[in-house]
């Protein structure tokens, strides 16, 4: 085990911009080599940034087997839930919007709450958990809805988040503007039987956030702090709420890059953190089973993406888990390699916003892992 441990509250910045001194640069190269990476990994990231192929990068952290081996923090214009923040110099203590990476964090929170018996299991009828909407529960076309359909985004209800999040016709924005967000999410027109097709839906996650809050008796951010953040030593940077005061389970969380990396590490460690059980093992096992196809070569399960990437060190592809957010926010995990990568970008609502973090993951991190 080499590099620097994730358990330290303030992670040392190993990456670009802080390694100018030859001795420190040589130390970083030696750490990378010991971790099984090409020793010029940092230089390759720097070249990608200089070339313009990697756009809008605010932060990149890479860890292997719980040790940080690469860190880069940049500078650029940023925003929080659409509100400009101006030019920001990023660093290990600077929080950043996670946007829809929040969904995957909520997936872990649901598993923790389920382990405590506070929320219904995936097989439970969904509308039965919202007795205030008896008229919707009486609709035969909705009676097959299960909690699992919200967890896997297979509710079969019309939902369109393909529009920019600046467009009020975007379904998540329309939900935020609705008088009752939960009725809005549940009374969309039925397009497919539940479980048949994957449709990206912030509404599904809003429903899960409500179940967590109702079942635990705590607002979602408070439960997250007690059940997940405090055990990992995380101090959240905020959780945006809608006009109705309800924290957004779909996109509202702000964390630092090191804190997001810790969340990835607890997943890689089977739900354990410094000898303490944080996330139930059974939940993570279910999360890793093949999920519903998303239509673009990925699968989806329990609010996490599932993909695969070629790794030279393994001589073939290996599966990875991903949490994706608008603007290029990413958390990538490859259990077989003990790898975690957190990435923040400022490419909100831009076409091809996912290209930059995916190129860093595939062409720099995985392509330069030389030892299994």
Confidence of residue 25 (pLDDT cuts 50, 70, 90): confident
Condensed to tens digits (0 to 9), the pLDDT of residues 283-326 reads 999 999 999 999 999 999 999 999 998 899 999 999 999 999 99
The answer to whether the CB of 81 falls within 8 A of the CB of 16 is no
pLDDT reported for residue 79: 97
pLDDT reported for residue 16: 33
Region 330-338: mean pLDDT is 97
- Bridge-based pairing of strands 4-5 and 57-64 is unpaired
Condensed to tens digits (0 to 9), the pLDDT of residues 82-92 reads 999 999 999 99
- Residue in 255, 270, 319, 229 with CA at minimum distance from that of residue 101: 255
pLDDT > 60? residue 8: no
**What's this model's pTM, rounded to 2 decimal places?**
0.94
- Bridge-based pairing of strands 304-311 and 316-325 is antiparallel
Distance from C-alpha of 18 to C-alpha of 21, rounded to nearest angstrom: 8
Distance from C-alpha of 335 to C-alpha of 322, rounded to nearest angstrom: 11
pLDDT > 70? residue 20: no
Beta bridge partners of 125: 146
Region 17-30: mean pLDDT is 62
Region 197-212: mean pLDDT is 98
Q: How many CB atoms within 10 Å of residue 371?
A: 13
pLDDT reported for residue 228: 98
Token pair, residue 42, equals 């940092």
> 67 vs 24, which has greater pLDDT?
67
- Element containing residue 29 per DSSP (H, E): helix 22-34
Region 355-362: mean pLDDT is 97
The answer to whether the CB of 56 falls within 8 A of the CB of 76 is yes
Condensed to tens digits (0 to 9), the pLDDT of residues 137-146 reads 999 999 999 9
Distance from C-alpha of 283 to C-alpha of 112, rounded to nearest angstrom: 8
CA angle 35, 36, 42 (to 5 degrees): 75
Q: Hey, what domains does the chain have and what are their CATH numbers?
A: 1-92 (no CATH), 95-304 (3.40.710.10)
- Residue in 223, 323, 346 with CA at minimum distance from that of residue 263: 323
Region 86-114: mean pLDDT is 98
pLDDT > 90? residue 361: yes
pLDDT reported for residue 29: 85
Q: State percent of the chain over pLDDT 90.
A: 90
pLDDT reported for residue 11: 41
Which DSSP string corresponds to 252-303? -EEE-HHHHHHHHHHHHTTTEETTEE-S-HHHHHHHHS--EE-SSS-EEETT
163 CB-contact burial (10 Å; exposed 0-12 / middle 13-18 / buried 19+): middle
The distance of Cα 309 from the centroid of its chain, to the nearest Å, equals: 18
pLDDT reported for residue 19: 39
pLDDT reported for residue 307: 97
Q: How many CB atoms within 10 Å of residue 289?
A: 10
């Amino acid at each position: 085990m080499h590099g620097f441990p994730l358990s330290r509250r303030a992670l040392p910045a190993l990456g670009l911009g802080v390694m100018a001194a030859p001795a420190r640069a040589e130390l970083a190269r030696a750490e990378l080599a010991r971790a099984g990476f090409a020793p010029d990994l940092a230089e390759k990231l720097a070249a990608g940034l200089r070339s313009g192929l990697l756009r809008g990068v605010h932060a990149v952290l890479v860890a292997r087997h719980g040790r940080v081996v690469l860190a880069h923090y940049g500078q650029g214009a940023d925003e929080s839930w659409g509100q400009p923040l101006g030019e920001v110099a990023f660093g290990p203590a600077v929080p950043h919007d996670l946007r829809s990476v929040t969904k995957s964090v909520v997936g872990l929170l649901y598993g923790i709450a389920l382990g405590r018996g506070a929320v219904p299991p995936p097989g439970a009828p969904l509308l039965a958990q919202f007795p205030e909407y008896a008229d919707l529960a009486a609709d035969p076309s909705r009676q097959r809805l299960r909690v699992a359909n919200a967890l896997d985004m297979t509710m079969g209800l019309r939902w369109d988040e393909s529009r920019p999040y600046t467009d009020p016709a975007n379904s998540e924005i329309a939900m935020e503007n609705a008088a009752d967000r939960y009725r809005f999410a549940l009374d969309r027109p039925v397009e497919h039987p539940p479980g048949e097709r994957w449709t990206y839906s912030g509404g599904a996650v809003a429903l899960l956030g409500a179940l967590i809050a109702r079942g635990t008796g705590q607002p979602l951010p408070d439960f997250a702090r007690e059940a997940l953040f405090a055990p990992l030593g995380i101090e959240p940077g905020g959780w945006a709420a809608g006009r109705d005061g309800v924290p957004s389970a779909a996109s509202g969380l702000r964390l630092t890059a090191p804190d997001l990396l810790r969340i990835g590490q607890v997943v890689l460690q089977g739900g354990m953190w410094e000898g303490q059980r944080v996330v139930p093992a059974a939940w993570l096992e279910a999360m890793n089973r093949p999920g519903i196809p998303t239509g673009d070569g990925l699968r989806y399960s329990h609010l996490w993406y599932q993909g695969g990437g070629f790794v030279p060190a393994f001589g073939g592809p290996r599966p990875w888990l991903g949490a994706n957010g608008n603007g290029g926010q990413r958390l990538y995990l490859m259990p077989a390699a003990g790898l975690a990568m957190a990435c923040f970008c400022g490419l909100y609502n831009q076409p091809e916003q996912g290209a930059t973090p995916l190129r860093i993951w595939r062409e720099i991190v995985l392509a330069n892992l030389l030892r299994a």
